[in-house]
């Protein structure tokens, strides 16, 4: 995971430069791309070490290619705490999605060899279509439009969205109250969930969850919508903001796969069911997103074959 190391270096030096530029007057470098403390100890490597290895896997074009290459090319983000973000101590991508990618690689190859390719919500389909990657594990919500051009295995996790507001905010009691208000979101799953639930909300998009959070603290926006794991990790521990009871929008996350290789998709589905049944899935959740989100306790998935 060379990329992660470099990225970490760039982010931290950028943040440091920002801090200096700001005249050291108490500007919080984290918002410029740094880390939240709460996730410093997210590390899935113990879980991955015990993860299962697939037996008697069939042959298919992509499977053969991956085996021949010896590692899995997987795209995702590095800005989602608890799901996929660079751990400042180890320099490796840490989180639930990062662990899923390593477990999947291990299931296919016997070792968690993943070549991480950073992609935002913009490029996920393109990367799969032009075969830049073998899989996308990136809080990637399964939708009909996407299923026309990529395969999905899963859902491997279904999350609900939560809403954080400024402390003392009384005008937002239900999701409908978000209509017409400026709401911070990260592009992708959270944004989709928000617009499905409240089409007239005004999304204000920031790359990093730390920035969404800062925007809320600084009263640039009236609310912040993200999945409950992310939102409780930040707003739950802060004195200026609070997490509301509002929950909405089931977002089913799937492993995105290139279209056309259905054997590969079946293997991916079997992988999800295997780690759900043998307890690996639960351990992964507990070591990653579950560390910060104790309010939700998602069920391990059980995907009917043929989905």
- Positions touching other proteins (CB under 8 A) are 14, 17-18, 21-22, 25-28, 31-33, 120-123, 125-126, 129, 143, 145-146, 148-150, 184, 187-188, 191-192, 203-207, 211, 214-215, 218-220
- Which CB sits closer to other proteins, 211 or 274? 211
Residue 62, φ and ψ in degrees, nearest 5: -70, -45
From CA 75, how far away is CA 56, in angstroms rounded?
Answer: 26
Burial zone of 256 (CB within 10 Å; 0-12 exposed, 13-18 middle, 19+ buried): buried
- Which CB sits closer to other proteins, 30 or 278? 30
Q: How far is CA 282 from the centre of its chain?
A: 16
Say if CB 231 and CB 163 are below 8 A apart: yes
Say if CB 209 and CB 235 are below 8 A apart: no
- Which CB sits closer to other proteins, 13 or 237? 13
- Which CB sits closer to other proteins, 27 or 276? 27
Say if CB 243 and CB 235 are below 8 A apart: yes
From CA 11, how far away is CA 204, in angstroms rounded?
Answer: 22
Closest separation in Å from C-beta 196 to other proteins: 10
**CB atoms closer than 10 angstroms to residue 206:** 21
- Which CB sits closer to other proteins, 59 or 219? 219
Closest separation in Å from C-beta 240 to other proteins: 12
Closest separation in Å from C-beta 120 to other proteins: 8
From CA 236, how far away is CA 265, in angstroms rounded?
Answer: 38
- Which CB sits closer to other proteins, 141 or 233? 141
Closest separation in Å from C-beta 3 to other proteins: 18
Closest separation in Å from C-beta 82 to other proteins: 21
Closest separation in Å from C-beta 256 to other proteins: 10
3 strand-pairing partners: none
The tokens describing 21, both together, are 């530029």
């Amino acid at each position: 995971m060379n990329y992660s190391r470099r990225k970490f270096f760039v982010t931290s030096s950028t943040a440091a430069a920002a801090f200096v530029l700001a005249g050291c007057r108490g500007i919080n470098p984290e918002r410029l791309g740094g880390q939240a403390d709460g996730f410093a100890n997210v590390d899935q490597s113990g879980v991955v070490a015990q993860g299962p290895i697939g037996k008697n896997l069939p042959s298919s074009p992509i499977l053969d290619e991956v085996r021949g290459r010896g590692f899995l090319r997987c795209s995702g983000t590095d800005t989602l705490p608890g799901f996929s973000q660079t751990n400042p101590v180890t320099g490796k991508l840490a989180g639930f999605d990062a662990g899923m990618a390593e477990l999947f690689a291990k299931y296919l190859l016997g070792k968690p060899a993943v070549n991480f390719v950073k992609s935002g919500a913009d490029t996920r389909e393109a990367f799969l279509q032009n075969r830049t990657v073998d899989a996308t594990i990136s809080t990637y919500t399964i939708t009909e439009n996407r299923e026309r051009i990529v395969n999905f295995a899963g859902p491997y996790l279904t999350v609900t969205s939560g809403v954080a507001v400024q402390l003392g905010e009384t005008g937002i009691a239900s999701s409908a109250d978000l209509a017409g208000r400026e709401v911070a979101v990260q592009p992708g799953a959270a944004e989709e969930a928000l617009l499905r639930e409240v089409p007239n909300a005004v999304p204000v998009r920031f790359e990093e969850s730390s920035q969404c959070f800062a925007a809320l603290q600084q009263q640039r926006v009236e609310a912040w919508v993200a999945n409950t794991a992310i939102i409780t990790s930040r707003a739950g521990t802060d004195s200026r903001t609070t997490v509301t009871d509002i929950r909405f929008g089931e977002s089913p996350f799937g492993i995105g796969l290139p279209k056309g290789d259905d054997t590969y998709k079946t293997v991916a589905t079997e992988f999800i069911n295997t780690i759900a049944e043998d307890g690996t899935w639960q351990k992964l959740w507990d070591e990653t997103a579950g560390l910060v989100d104790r309010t939700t306790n998602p069920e391990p998935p059980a995907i009917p074959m043929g989905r």
